[in-house]
Structures are given as structure tokens and as C-alpha cells.
Structure 1
């Protein structure tokens, strides 16, 4: 019997510069961002899932009742997978694909900046829409072929003439022969929600795959950081380095796959036994009552989360029931980096 699962395409729009770090780099940048196999910026699935799981667990701490906080954390673990001591009990009910680059802001001689993409980057989005079973994939596939042909030969096509200077689009100090094209207009209109609104306002330019790598490279930010020796007011030993950032407004896409929770109802008693120990009880005799109450809650949770669509509905739901609209991931959070909005690509 085939495993039932539901796929949802998610867009991430950078609200601040992002640093999904890849560790120490071998190139001229000491701390580069994560990249895919074709050297385009990416956010690995582990970074996404870990950040979201942590955000949801922290949201449980805002609940007033200790019993509710414990039950909230158990709900998160049922969806995202258990902690190490229960890893043998069940697996995660959700999985993410790596977030791939779809469009990146580029400096424009007209209009300050515009979104830039290419057939290669659009193909990332197409494959993800197909994997999630979204009907939009068919329309995107047709538009992809149209803009690919129109942008052949080193040219570019734009969704608006606001980014054109005569017969060119000057992007990141690169002059490219460009023209407006109906396929680019329709392509820009495909993006949903606030992301679609921003793409429409700023304009979308589709360039060829032979130049998009250079455009993307010039859009990335490199910031030099210094750590001072405060007594001497000089740079501390080893205290000069460079960090790479993906610019604000960059758009990534990922896919969220959901199945029903994999924990058996029979394990509810074991979960309650483990979790009741985390509650500070005023009277020791309350433990049995609390355990019974938790066990009932957990049986209800597991029953409610047997369907993949129910699990997907919990992924971006905070402890108080509100929807998470933005997410912090990557490094440098305390210096204003790493915030991205989350937009689900609706059918």
C-alpha cells in the first residue's frame, strides 16, 4: 500500500540579509553561505527544519499552564520527530527539501532594483511544483519555454519597461539587451501572496543561464567583521574575517511533505510517563492524575494527526494557535540577520 502524503510548496522571502552558513570556506570569503551543487545560494533542509522545530518548541513556553506547555511540546515532537532518548519510538511526520534560489534582487539603473531569474532557477520551482502535485506546474512549464527562447543569445526579457534603459536592462552594472515580453508578465503574476505583490511592483527580469551566475555573484553581500582588543583598541589576533550574505528580498522555494504521525497510540502511556516528570507538582499524589490527563491528550493528538493534511496544518502553528508568518534561521540573528517570511503556494 502506497504511503499517503501531502506536499506543499513554500516560498521564503528574505526580510533581512540571510546567512545560512556553510562553515569555514576555502575561497576568499571566510564564512560563505550554503550553496547547491551548481554553486547557487541555497538553504539546506536541515537548517529549515531545525529552525522551525526550535521556533515551535519555544512558542510552547509562552503558555501559562505547565501541563499545556508539556502537551504543546509533545505535539511538536509528534510532528517533527522525537528527541534523542525517544528516537527509537517513532520518526518525523514531516520532511523538507532544500530551499532553492528562485529570484534574487539586482541593482538596476532604473527603479533601484529588480528581481532576476533564469530558466535554470525557474526549473527549480517547476520541479518542486511537480513534486508537490500543483496544477500551476503546467502553466509554469509553458512560460519557461517561452522566456527561454525569448532570452536566448545573451538577451533578457522583463515584465515591465520600468527597468529598461533604451534597449537594455542594466543590472548589477551589467548591460544586457532586453525587452518586455508577455510571458515575463504572466510569469511574474504566478507568484502568490505578498511575494507576488513585490515581484509585480519591482519587476521580474529573466536572463540567460550563461549570465545568471555572474548576476547572482554580484548580488551577494560580503561584510568584513572586526573583533577588537578593547584594552589596546586594535584588532584582536584572528579577529578580522569576511561573512557572506544573501540580500534582502531574495526568494527561495522548498517543499514540505507530510504523512500521518508515526507514533502508535499504544505509546501514549509511555509518553505521558516521561513527560509528567517534567512537571513540578505541589503534591506527589497529583502525579497519577496528571499522567492520566496527559495520556488522554496524547491519544487525542495522535488520532487527530493521522491524516497528512492535518499534520501539514500543524507545521506553522505556534503554541497559542497562531500561524507563524516569519522564521529566523541561519547565523547572525543578534545583529539583524536571518529573518524570512513564509508563504505557502496555494492551489
Structure 2
């Protein structure tokens, strides 16, 4: 297996990465996987990373992520980007707020960690440890008993000030409902400048501030002409993107989508 980087991300503001218009109560839902859980597809994540890096080192960005769409010469980038999985969600509770996850999301996390060649350096204990067999907690859906609880590692808790030590993990039969309850739906409006009447009314779906994501970046160890002359691609990449603040989705003009990433 080629060199692989673990990516942890933390939502500093609510995040919307859309999948286009859809029928139903929410006009602009968040991207979803085949089960219905929110996800940031690799193509969306890659585009943001490349755009961020282009502003710092144009040559390195094209070496790592490939040619621009409007360039005549097409070539592949060196790195492969996985989907970015929202795995820990803050949700309102009788105790103010708590963090939740599901068995399904933790299995996806295990799959990502399984691709690392150096398994001793990337154990699940670096993300969380299982602490007990579950607790009953009051959330928006009423009182539910979690399957078990987790204690997050210091590396995860250091991502943001909202993150709590404990995460309540729910079984798959109620897990998706719990995650849906954590999402934020915002109705927006466009008014006519003169009459102040509504011209357009729609609802957008956001992951809440404080959501924690996990993903991976794989060095495919292929090269292109833009990589020639870059002395240490690994070092340059880490220096430019580790602890960087990026905007996921297209809502930065209204202060949404600001995410801090940690590259391990």
C-alpha cells in the first residue's frame, strides 16, 4: 500500500454540500450515500483541497490533483481522495448537547483505517476507545438507549472547542433517525427590492457546527511533468494543508462551510 494520510475535519460553521434540487420538504438536501447518511463525495472534497492549494502553490496543486479542466494537456494527479465521512454529530439533548454516532458510521471509519500500511501508527485507539455498553439519553426523538459510548482521543478533541469527550453510539435501526435529527434545515428567501414580496423560497440542509469528519488521501506514487523539480512533495503538501481552514460547499459568502482539517 502506498503512503496514506488520515484526514480529520471539524465544522467551524454549519456546512452544506449539496446534491442539487430534490422533491420533498428540503429543496436542497446534503449529499447522501446509498444508505441515506450525509457524505462529502471525494470529487467535492478534492475540488476544495485543490482550490485551496492553488492559492498557495499552483505547481504543487496540479502535481498532486491533476490538470485544470480547461487545460489542453490532460494528466492525472498524484493523490487519490476518498469521500469525507461525517462521523460524530452534536445534537440537542436534555443536558444541553451531546455527540452521537452510529454503528454504521463507525464501521465506515474502520474501513478507512484498514487501508493504512502502518497499522501500529493508525490504530482505532488514535480516534476513540469504547467505554461501556450504553446509556439512556434524552434527545429530540425522546429517550433512547445507546448501544455503547466512546471516549474520543485527544487528537480528535483538539480539532475544535465544541467537541466533548463522550460520544453516544446508536444501533442501525435508529441510527439514521438520530443523525437526521442532528441536521439543520434553513429556509431562505429572495425578496423583490421594490415590493419586498417573495420571489423565491427554498430550504437548505446543513450539518451542524461541531460535526467531525474522517477521510483519507492516498499517494498513488505516480508522477507528471508538474511534479518534476518539487523536492519533497510530502513535506510541501503537509505544510500547506495541515491545519488549514477550507470552505466546503458553495455557501462561504454567507459564512457557511468553514472547516478546519488535520492531515495525519
Q: TM-score, normalised by structure 1?
A: 0.67
Q: Deviations over 1:294-334 (max 9, x none)?
A: xxxx7422xx2xxxxx434333544xxx8552211102111
Coordinate RMSD, CA, aligned? 2.8
CA 1:101–1:323: 2 relative to 1, 3 Å: closer
- Name the residue aligned to 1:244: 205
SS in 1 for 2:55: helix
**Alpha-carbon distance in 2 for matches of 1:232, 1:196:** 43
Question: Which has more strand, going by share of residues?
Answer: 2
Are positions 1:314 and 2:236 aligned together?
Answer: yes
Counterpart position of 1:336: 255
Are 1:105 and 1:219, in contact at CA under 8 Å, matched by a contact in 2? yes
**Computing the radius of gyration over CA atoms, which structure comes out larger, 1 or 2?**
1
Which of 284, 300, 306 matches 2:229?
300
- 1:118 aligned onto 2:102: yes
**Cα displacement string for residues 90-145 of structure 1 (whole angstroms, at most 9, x for unaligned residues):** 310011111112111111101x111101221111111101112333446589966x
The alignment covers a number of residue pairs equal to 261
- Which of 3, 10, 16 lines up with 1:19 in the alignment? 16
Query: Which residues of structure 2 form unaligned runs of 5+?
Result: none
* Residue aligning to 1:93: 78
Distance 2:202 2:128 in 1: 45
Asked if the contact 1:49/1:96 (under 8 Å) is kept, the reply is yes
User: Is residue 101–residue 252 contact of structure 1 (8 Å, CA) maintained in 2?
Assistant: yes
Q: Which has the higher helix share?
A: 1
Rate the CA distance shift 1:235–1:52 in 2: closer, same or farther, 3 A: same
Query: What is the aligned partner in structure 1 of residue 179 from structure 2?
Result: 216
- Deviation (angstroms), 1:220: 0.7
Residues 312/124 of structure 1: CA separation in 2 closer, same or farther (3 Å cut): farther
Structure 1's 197 and 6: CA in aligned 2 closer, same or farther, altered over 3 A? farther
Question: In the alignment, what sits opposite 2:156?
Answer: 192
Kept in 1: contact 2:90–2:182 (CA 8 A): yes
CA deviation string 1:234-256 (max 9, x = no partner): 111xx011111111111111110
Gaps of at least 5 residues in structure 1 are 60-71, 151-155, 158-167, 269-297, 305-309
Establish whether residue 78 from structure 1 lines up as the match of residue 63 from structure 2. Answer: yes
- Provide the secondary structure at the position in 2 that maps to 1:300: coil
Residue 12 (structure 1) shift:
1.2
- Aligned to 1:226, what secondary structure does the other structure show? strand
Distance 1:256 1:58, change over 3 A: same
* 1:172 Cα deviation after fit: 2.2
